[in-house]
Homo-oligomer: A and B are copies of this chain.
Amino acid sequence: MKKVEFKSKGYELISSVAKAMGNPHRLELLELLANGPKNVEELRREARMTLTNTSNHLQILKQLKLVKARRQFTSIYYRLADETIISLLKALHITAFRQLVELKHTIGQFRQQYGTDRAVIAELPATDYILLDVRPAVEYRHGHHRGAINIPHNQLGKSMVQLDKGKLIVAYCRGELCTLADEVVQQLNAAGFRAVRLAEVVMMKSA
């Protein structure tokens, strides 16, 4: 193999991984899976895509060995093929955030419109706040921020009473583009709690 051919083929292959993340739907699917395995219907629902399209994109990701599939009874469950993919997704977010003013602006504007303040927990005494994971319980079990408790966003109504009104509630969900924590923060503040959203990007490990 000539040097030029070697280099060409190498870049072709490496760039194909980047290309996989270059479609917004596939990127979202990867990030949903970073938070834990899901079946096709769950992914379809969370990403608000058609079933055919969801499956099409999953085949592309599978072909590139970024995800793995496993049948459990009548459902096919997908999961990330390797934990380095989480590091890659994080690095992509970090660069996109630093370089794209429009992205920063879009998120800042949305958070402001929603009235969601943010907190950096490293700056807070541990006794002053509660870290609240508002993702579905199965994702919490799969991996969560150390010290976090779990109240799935759709169970907040009945579980809110568990929370200490004397402490700041710092909520997080699946990442910067996930709005579950925004909803929860809004509901908690309306109920007389002091709640904000976690400032750091959180992306979980796979099993």
Contact = CB atoms under 8 A, between A and B. Distances in A.
Number of copies of this chain that the complex holds:
2
Interface stretch (A11-19, A117-125, A137-145, A189-197): A11-19
State the majority secondary structure of interface residues on A: helix
Interface in A124-179: 176-179
A15 B23 contact: yes
A107 B15 contact: no
A69 B4 CA distance: 27
Q: Which of A12, A15, A179 is most buried by chain B, counting CB atoms within 10 A of its CB?
A: A15
Nearest to A28: B11
Contacts of A14: 24, 27, 92-93, 96, 100, 103, 177
A8 interface: yes
Interface string A95-115: 110111111001101100100
A76 interface: no
A188 interface: no
B17 A19 contact: no
A17 B93 CA distance: 9
A94 interface: yes
Interface residues of A, number: 59
Contacts of A24: 8, 11-12, 14-15
B100 A13 contact: yes
B92 A17 contact: yes
Contacts of A50: none
A87 B84 CA distance: 13
Interface of A: 1, 3-4, 6-28, 48, 64-66, 81-82, 84-85, 87-88, 90-96, 98-103, 106-107, 109-110, 113, 176-179, 182
9 contacts: A13-B100, A14-B103, A15-B22, A17-B96, A18-B27, A20-B22, A22-B22, A65-B101, A66-B95
